[in-house]
Every structure is written in C-alpha cells, then in structure tokens.
Structure 1
Amino acid sequence: MTYLHKTLAVAALIGLVSAGWPVPPVAPVRDLNKNGKLDPYEDPKQSVEARVSDLLKQMNVAEKAGMMFINGTVINDDGTIEKKPGAQGPAAMMPTAIENITERHMTHFNLWAVPGTRAFATGTNAIQKLAESSRLGIPVTIASDPRHYFSSSIFGMAADGFSQWPEQLGFAAIGDVKLMQQFGDIARQEYLAVGIREALHPMADLATEPRWARVSGTFGEDARLSAKLVEAYVRGYQGPTLGPASVACMTKHFSGGGPQKEGLDPHFEFQKGQVYPGKNFNYHLIPFEAAFAAKTAAIMPYYGIPTDQTSENVAFSFNKDIITRLLRDKYKFDGVVCTDWGLITDTKMGPAVWLARAWGVENLSREERVLKAIQAGVDQFGGENCPELVVKLVNDGKLSEARIDQSVRRLLRQKFALGLFDNPYVDVEKATQLVGKPAFRQAGEAAQRRSMTLLKNDAKTLPLAMGKLKIYLKNVDPTVAAAYGSVVEKPEEADIAIVRLKTPWVPVETQNPMARGFHHGDLDFKGKEKEEILTLLKTVPTIVDIYLDRPAVIPEISVGAKGLLANYGASDAAVLDVIFGKARPEGNLPFELPSSMEAVRNQKEDVPYDSKDPLYKFGYGLRYPAALN
C-alpha cells in the first residue's frame, strides 16, 4: 500500500466519522518492506525520523520547495476557501489556498481575518481536504498570530469568539507563571478546536526602547521576568514535548527586536537597523534561552540589521552569524527557522509600494535573496509564495537538493510530531462548543482584572462605593457604567469622573497605509487633547485609566488625577470592577513610565529601565487594603 493510498484511506474514514456515518471495522494493514520490516507508516513504534525519511524520498523538488513557503489565505463566512467577489483584507489580494496547494505545492498557511467558529473550523477542514487530494496528500499546517487579546491591534487578530485576555504585557504585570501556562493551555485548546496548529508567537523581544511600535506584544523590558513567562507560555501551548495535542510555537524575533533606533520599526524602509549603544546585545538573548529550554518548535528572526554586531551588516534572516553560528551552532537549535513576512517580494499597497524587507541586501534579486537566506540557515519564507525560485536555484546548480532536504526534514518532522498525518481534521460541532466556553472566558476576564496596575490612589479614593455616586464618563460605555452608579451628562453634575485614555502616538508621514497604522512617535499628550484632559481633572475628581501599549509620558495627568490605573487590554467592565472594588488590581509595571520625552530621547535603546528620574519605576504597583471585601 503506497503512502498516498494510506492517506486517502484514513482521510476517507475520518470523513465518514465526521459526517456521522457508521464505519465498518477494518482489518489493519501490516505492510512489510523488502527487508521484512514493518512499513514505517504501519508500525507505531517507528520513529518520526523514519517516517520523515520515507516521505522525503518520495518528494520531488517542486514539492519540497512548496513546503518552504508560508503565506496568508482566506476562509469565507460560509466556510468555503475560494476567492469571492468583493473580498477584503490582505489575504483577499493573494492567491487562494486552492491555487497555492495545487500549483505551488504549499502546505503551510496563516490566517488573518476569519469568520465565526463554525465557518473557521469548516474552512480548515476544506483546506485539509484539498491537500489530501494532492499527489502525496501532505496535510497543511495552519498558523495564526495571537487571537486571544482583548485589545485588537495591527499585530494581533480580533478575538472573534475566543476567550479574551490581556496582552503579553498584562501577563508580565501579573507575573504569575502558573497563570501564564494556564493561558497557553486554554489558547491551545481553542486553537486545536478550529485547526490552528502553529502559533506565530510568543514575542520574546524586550521593550527596552519605549517608543517601539511593538512594545504591546512583549513581556516588558526585564529579561528575567520575560524569560520565565516565555518558558511557561511555550509549555502551555506545546506541553512537555511536541505531540498530537500540541500547538507548535514559533517564538520571535530572534535575537531580540527591541532595540530599534528611536523606536521606528523595520517593517519599513525608514528603519533598517537596530542599534546597541549600551553594548547590551546578549541581554536580549535571555528570553530566547528560556524558549529553547521549553523546546520551542520554531524561531522567527526579525527584519532589521543588528548593526555592527556581526561580520556583515545584513538583516537577521540573511545573516549567517545569527542563524547558523549563534542559533544553530551555539544554541544547538534544530527546529524550524522561518523568516518574518515579506523579505523577498515588493508589495503593492494602493498608490504605494511596500518594499521587501531585504535590508542590507536590497541590491540582490529575488532569487539571490532566497539563496542568501537559505545559505544563512533559514528553512522557510514567511509571507511569500514563490517556491519556483527555489526550484530554479536547484535546477541551475546554485543550491543543492541536499540543502533543501535539511529544511524540508525539519518541516516534515513538525507535521508528523503534531499528528497531522494521522488526522488533520477537526470536529466542527465540538469546536462550536469549546471555543470561548464560559470557563475559558471567565479565566480571561479574571486575568484582565488582575493585570490592572494601580499607580496612584490619592487619599485612598479607590475603590469607589457601588451605586452611590453620580458619574461622568469619557471613553466608557454608559450602558456598562450604569450598573455602578448614576451616569450624568456633564462633569459639573458629577461626584466623580472616569476617563479611559490610550498611550499617544504619531503616524509616520508616508503613503504606506500599513506604516501609518503603526504606533510610532512621541508618548506624551499634546495640544487640544491634553488641554481637555487637564481641564476635566480640574473640574471634577477624576479616575484615569490608561491603556499602555507603550510606556506613556503622563506627568501632568498623574498629578491631576485622584486615581490612576493602567491596563494592557481590558474591557470597560473589567476596569469598572477594579475601580469599584469588585476586583483587585494586582499588576506591577512591566516597564518604567518616563517622566518626559527628553528622558526618552536620552535613554539607550538596548538598555532596560535607564531613563532619568522615571515617573513610575519598573515593577511599581499599589494595592487596595487587605481588609477590603
């Protein structure tokens, strides 16, 4: 029995079971090879390596090349996977999974915008069914960016039915390793239910540059705290070893993407190299060492150039000193290394062209960029669907098939370990019952409340008395707030005001719409917005809650507020529960809050907690009285 026939037979049985049909008993097939040994697909005692080797021998160059690329795809609201008229979003502009599987032999996809749980699970099954019909029936690995954070940002997907938790910064504020692993385990279950088998996270980067647009995805600026949480995070998703009940983690962005010059992000051409004025390169490796201890399945390097840290000033994924000498040789990492998205091909974005992030090798052709990354030690290209370039390199004798076999072996090993070859399908009905089930939602909501960080409580104003106060609101849903007190229309009518703010940012002047959405720039409130806030603080006693996706600069607001809280992704109900004492704030700042923009500009991008005279130091957080019920 060939591998293809076995795959189809198993898939057919799975299809019958999924459809609710009774399945007749089937006698096990026990194939012997020419040496009288059991076929590796039939003997459960055979190692993953034996199965990988057997399949690798059956693959042609085009099929191997297809495995080395992962890009976005779409699932429609009805669970279908073809492109529909009027489709929106990045994936809608790309070839469908249908095209990429049948024409490019791709077997890895990531999902951005997705429909509800039923259509999501139906769509991943449709993708697997299509993959089953390919020559070798190699199942697809579905990957996703984070989907569990309450605050949807440009870097995270909307929760859409999943349980909702604070961002990574919120877990750092709580600092509870057991909670971190519990989150990973719950998120793992919800991912598995809809067919996601690879998490394009966690971020192990350190937020040592407060202006960086990706601070919200980190565990803050302290390497030791980040390391503890990264390790627990990976263990929650993967378990003690990668197996059929695991979601593989792609920890990013090696070797640490935090030290960005002036906080500008290397997704774009205005920032190509990160800097190390404090000579602190090794500090940023500490969280990755924890990820290795937890056996993270994959690693993603970042976009920028580690300026003057290696023998060649080229970006991480093209840098052999980083990928081979540091990651492979020093740390002995033999998992998958996948580039960040879009290093090879320019992308049209309306009137603008989003340049490929080939920093340091801009002069190379697309084919030459692919070759250089593979020679550096990369296994897979994110955000690209051009396997024909790998095929051409092999056919032209510039790249050996033995070298791509090394990468394909790692990719196949992961698929086999995850059990995708044994059963890539999900139970749609069970998915609708498990994703976002009450216990999961309650755990996420409790974490939102625990992560709240109390920075100021003038005259022990907090917690407020339930149902006794007239409340003026700004940026809070009055329907939610009505359960806590009497909502009034004007601040002059109120006993107390509650205002929710977000850390300021300044869009970069560019035609690229993606770049304009990144939270770059200064961290302080300015002009009319600042004046309106300070006027309110002078008019009525005010409780300020601020969402910290980056460390805000708020000295005047801190002085004027009666109470000051920070959140890292929390609902109005979560914030109000803490303000009115139904829940306790347990968070500590995962980074310092600078006292001025001058202090921000004078600090070193690669060094933690080094701004002059911070308004609130790293680790700061007040508590309510112990006697509070």
Structure 2
Amino acid sequence: MSNDAAPERPWLNPELPTSERVELLLAEMTLEEKAGLFFHTMIAMGEDGELSEGSEMFGIPSNRHHVVDQHMSHFNLLGVAPTAGDIARWYNKLQELAASTRLGIPVTISTDPRHGFSENPGASMLAGPFSQWPEPLGLAATADPELVERFGDIARREYTAVGIRVALHPQVDLATEPRWARQLQTFGEDADLSGRLGAAYVRGFQGESFGPGSVSTMTKHFPGGGPQKDGEDPHFDYGREQVYPGDNFEHHLKPFEEVFAAGGRQIMPYYGMPVGTEYEEVGFGFNKGVLTGLLRERFGFDGIVCTDWGLVTDQPIMGADFAARAWGVEHLTPAERMTKILDAGADQFGGEQEPQMLIDLVQSGVVAEERLDVSARRLLREKFELGLFENPFVDAAAADAVVGSDEFRAAGYAAQQASVTVLTNDGALPFARGAKLYVEGIAADIAAQYGEVVASPAEADVAILRIQAPYEERGTMFENFFHAGSLDFPAAVVDHVAEVAAAVPTVVDVFLDRPAILGPVVSAADAVVANWGSGAPALLDVLSGAVPATGKLPFDVPRSMAAVEASRPDVPFDTADPLFRFGHGLSL
C-alpha cells in the first residue's frame, strides 16, 4: 500500500485533502465494498500471531472470510493474547490480507477496555500484556484529570504498538442507579467529574491533534445509560427500560458535552429504550429523535455512530436464550431493523456481519445507495485521518518492549495506590510493617513482604480480608458477568467478618463495583477500605502507610436497600441519608 500505486489508486496521494481522497475512493467502490464498511463485529486471532480460521464457540468465521469475502474492515478484537508481539504479528498479517483485496482498504481494529482487573465479554478484557490500571471508577476515585489523561496517553501508545486504533470507551454514563450493573466502567455519579475525566480520557487517547498516532475514542452510551429500571442491564429483556421519574434526562447529557468539546470522534448509543420521555420508546440505536434530532442536529456531531452489539439478528450470547436486544422493535424483521437503524442516523451495525442483507435492501430500493454514501464518507474519513492508508502496519519486533513497559506498569501501579479509598478506621490502620498478618484474598507470598503471615486470626496482630461487593446470581454465565440485584451482603459474609473481628483488629477491603450496603461490615470491622482494581501489593502499600491514602468515593454509598428502592434512578445523590457521601475518603 505504498504511494507507488498512486496513479492506479489516486486516493493514496497524501498531498490531497482528506475529503477529496474520500470521494476518489468512494467513486471506485462497488455496492458490496460499501456495504462491508457498515459492519463492526468481533474478530478472532489465530495462535502465535497467525490468521484465524474462526471460532465456533463465538460464531466467528475466518479472517479471510470477513476481509476478502465480505469486504469488512472494522473489527473488535476478541480475547487476550499471551504477548503484544502475537497481536502485532497477527495484525500485520490481517493488513496484508486487506491489502490484497481489489481496493486495498486497510482494516481498523477496535477493542473494549484492556487495562483493568475485570473480564466481561460484554464490557471489558483482562489486561494481559498491557499495563494494569484501576477500572474507571478507580480512576474517578483519584479525581485527577491529569492522571486520567496520562493513562489515556499510555494506553494510546500501547494500543497503537499492536495496531488497535479505536477504543470502544470511555463510558461516561452516570451511575445514578446504585444497583446498575455497568458502573465499574464509568466515572461515577457526579456529572461534572465524569465530564472532566471523560474529556481527559479522550485527550489522552487521541493526542494533541487527531492523526496517525491517535486512537479514536467511541464514547458510550449516548444519551446516558445510568437510569435503568431497578438497575438491571439492557443486554437482557428484563432490563430494557430506561426511566426518568425525576424528569432528569438532560442531566445525563452533561458528560457527553465535555467529550464533544474535547474532540471525541465516535459514539455508541445504549441498548436501553426510554420510557415516559418525548422520545420514541425504542432502543437508542433505533431512535431517530435521539441520534438525528439530539446527537446530529442539536449537538452538531458529525462523527461515527456505531450501535451496540447485536441489534439486528438476535444472536444468542454464551447460552443466554433471550437474545433479542431490539427493544421496542422486537416485532420487526432483521431487514426492517437494519433499515430503522440507518434511518435513525447510525453509521455502523455493532456485532453484526450481514453485508448481504444491506446489499439486498439497496437493490430492492428500500435503502438508497446515497444513504450508504453518507456513512461511508465518515467511515473512510476516519481511516484516512488515522493514517492507515499511508502505513497500516506496526513494528511487531518492538511491540513487546512498548506494551507493558516498566515505565507504563509503574504508572499503572501508582494509580492503583492512589485510587484506594479508606472509608473507616478505628485505629487498625496503618498497620505496622512486620506485624503478624492473617489474610484472606491475598496470596501469602505477597503478604509476607509486609509482615509475618499467620494461619489464624487468633495468632495475628491484624487481619486483612478482601471481599467482593454483593450481587445476585442469575441463570446464565453471561448474566453473571453483569453484577445486578440486591446490594445487601449475605449474612454469611457479615458473620464471618464479625467472627474474625472478634479475635483480632480487622480491615475489610471491598471491591466496590457497585455501592454496597456497607453498614453491617462497617459495624463489624475496625477499618473498611474500597478499591476498584488495585493489586494486593498496591493495597498493602496504602494500608501499611508506605504511601498515603488519597482515594475518594466516586458515588454515594446508601444506608439501606429501602433507601435505594425509594430513590429515583435518573437523579444523582438521591438515596436518603447515605452512609458515606461522594468524595468521602480518610487519610492515613
């Protein structure tokens, strides 16, 4: 794909304006080649950096089928590779495959978040070879835009080293419903903080100016996904309704305005359907009033809009038998849904791989080819501005040295420390270095670097217990990736904390992916700490006083489930008499 081909492929001339290059290429494209641009779906890697023959488990065809047969060129990378070099080598082979096609349109690879501690096939991946940072709620606990921009800059350099050029994040939804299953990837409950950090995140990923060194950010989930009825997630039919009893729809737009001002390039609308608003009661990906009227016209957004995954074909996910996520339009055929999405103003079908369906819609006169051209221009423009036509390849030999470098890992480790939030302390913290430690949820060899590990609470000077915020078990594995339901701890957990605390001063660290009802744990323990992705060493550094405790709560922690159930899901800070307020955090 060098410029030597410019006479035959004039769009490869970098001296021409991007708009002219787009028109030159668009004029050469067949309907089939245009249709391939509209699908942004999962792609699998082969082993050891080779091309993939597909994955039966996830219903993913071979790389060749996607790129050559279906003319597709936008993919979300599935899974975690052992090394960055593996990803980079596979990526280069995929670009070689794309270069072999008639027009040589390069591939754009995207990813869900890859720098945290959680793994959810519907939301995030384990860090693998990448540097490891707190989840976004943990970044919010630092309340530090400079730290968040630094994270974005490091993630940008790691992503570009392996060929990832689109981040399917940040998530700037507001965590106004305490039970909501998707809070971990947000910046919390406060609109102003979420906006500041979301903008910093975008600046870090996209760089000072958007271009060949950038990662394009796809901010989600427009127009704000927090106000879910009962906190349920709209991946599932029982969570499809987004409700606004506080008439607070506008409030959820505030963080997006900050992202737009920062130059955010792409948007993903949410699965949820608004109930009781001025907008049609259909999922936001089908919602013309939201995507065209609000996003395109009111906010003037001319970037790429990609739907959330699987709105067209109802493909099951990991054994779940409630596959449809076409809320409000379940009765429509797949082709009718596709038409409605295009009419709403979206540019891409997330998680779908049905170019022939789109081709048929154009050939039958249901969708005008000129409508395809509108979105194709946006999609091609992004590839040109990312520099993919000039240099689609990466330096695979250098990838392992860049990704997860000592410098980047140290920065992530410092952020883990900074995000740890001390909620209560009756004198158990900081514990003395060298003390006798009883630990649960911490490997003994790690704890031994901070004190003498003992086998029982009775032998210890202090106990440190790491626990998970509670959630209700659901019927399928995929549902259980989305922690939902009651925020009350099971009695067995509280009783165990009380039993240990009766024998020794006890510190409880909670992975607070939702604002759990902490009162019973606070009553039993001598100190309670929250984290949103901090490894045991980073946590113990804080608890031992080796580094200061600086984290602050990114949301209110409610006093009871009754208060949660009585609160309005669209209104922030609406639970009565919360146990801890947003911004609470003790120093040590």
Shorter chain as normaliser: what TM range? over 0.9
Larger radius of gyration: 1
Equivalent residue number for residue 19 of structure 1: none
Equivalent residue number for residue 502 of structure 1: 468
Equivalent residue number for residue 31 of structure 2: 61
Contact 2:423 2:527 in 1 (8 A): yes
Equivalent residue number for residue 226 of structure 1: 194
Distance 1:504 1:436 in 2: 32
Equivalent residue number for residue 532 of structure 1: 496
1:238 aligns with 2:206: yes
Q: Which amino acid aligns with 2:94?
A: I
Tell me by how many angstroms 1:182 deviates. 0.6
Distance 1:577 1:347 in 2: 46
The aligned runs of 1:150-229 (5 Å cut-off) are: 150-154=117-121, 155-229=123-197
Equivalent residue number for residue 622 of structure 1: 586
Contact 1:507 1:518 in 2 (8 A): no
1:607 aligns with 2:575: no
> Quick one: structure 1 residues 106 and 443, their matched pair in 2 at CA, closer, same or farther if it must change by over 3 Å?
same
Tell me by how many angstroms 1:529 deviates. 2.5
Equivalent residue number for residue 124 of structure 1: 91
The aligned runs of 1:528-607 (5 Å cut-off) are: 528-607=492-571
Residues 455-496 of structure 1: per-residue CA shift (max 9 Å, x gap):
11213x3211111x1111111111100011111111111111
Contact 2:557 2:578 in 1 (8 A): yes
Residues 404-435 of structure 1: per-residue CA shift (max 9 Å, x gap):
10000000000000000001111111101100
Q: Which amino acid aligns with 1:579?
A: L
Tell me by how many angstroms 1:556 deviates. 1.6
Equivalent residue number for residue 253 of structure 2: 285
Equivalent residue number for residue 36 of structure 1: none
Contact 1:591 1:618 in 2 (8 A): yes
Q: Secondary structure at the match of 1:420?
A: coil
TM-score by length of 2: 0.97
1:478 aligns with 2:444: yes
Equivalent residue number for residue 330 of structure 2: 362
Q: Secondary structure at the match of 1:546?
A: strand
Contact 2:291 2:346 in 1 (8 A): yes
Q: Secondary structure at the match of 2:306?
A: strand
Distance 1:401 1:492 in 2: 75
Tell me by how many angstroms 1:279 deviates. 0.6
User: Among 385, 391, 403, which residue is 2:353 paired with?
Assistant: 385
Tell me how many residue pairs correspond in the alignment: 586
Q: CA RMSD in A?
A: 1.6
Tell me by how many angstroms 1:329 deviates. 0.2
Equivalent residue number for residue 41 of structure 1: 12
Moved more, 436-445 or 513-522: 513-522
Distance 1:541 1:564 in 2: 11
Contact 2:497 2:524 in 1 (8 A): no
The aligned runs of 1:20-99 (5 Å cut-off) are: 39=10, 41-42=12-13, 44-83=14-53, 90=58, 93-99=59-65
Tell me by how many angstroms 1:352 deviates. 4.5
1:489 aligns with 2:459: no
Identity of aligned residues (%): 49
Q: Secondary structure at the match of 1:78?
A: helix
Tell me by how many angstroms 1:524 deviates. 1.6
Contact 2:120 2:481 in 1 (8 A): no
Distance 1:521 1:311 in 2: 28
Query: Gapped runs of 5+ residues in structure 1?
Result: 1-6, 11-27, 34-38, 625-629
Residues 511-543 of structure 1: per-residue CA shift (max 9 Å, x gap):
x43123320111121132222122112221101
Distance 1:339 1:32 in 2: 35
Moved more, 72-81 or 358-367: 72-81
Contact 1:75 1:114 in 2 (8 A): no
The aligned runs of 1:128-147 (5 Å cut-off) are: 128-147=95-114
Contact 1:346 1:353 in 2 (8 A): no
Moved more, 231-240 or 347-356: 347-356
Q: Secondary structure at the match of 2:308?
A: strand
Equivalent residue number for residue 413 of structure 1: 381
1:465 aligns with 2:432: yes
Q: Secondary structure at the match of 1:544?
A: strand
The aligned runs of 1:422-461 (5 Å cut-off) are: 422-459=390-427, 461=428
The aligned runs of 1:223-372 (5 Å cut-off) are: 223-349=191-317, 352-372=320-340
Q: Which amino acid aligns with 2:124?
A: G
> Quick one: structure 1 residues 449 and 182, their matched pair in 2 at CA, closer, same or farther if it must change by over 3 Å?
same
Contact 2:11 2:22 in 1 (8 A): no
Q: Secondary structure at the match of 1:471?
A: strand
Q: Which amino acid aligns with 1:112?
A: L
Contact 1:471 1:485 in 2 (8 A): yes
TM-score by length of 1: 0.91
Contact 1:198 1:250 in 2 (8 A): yes
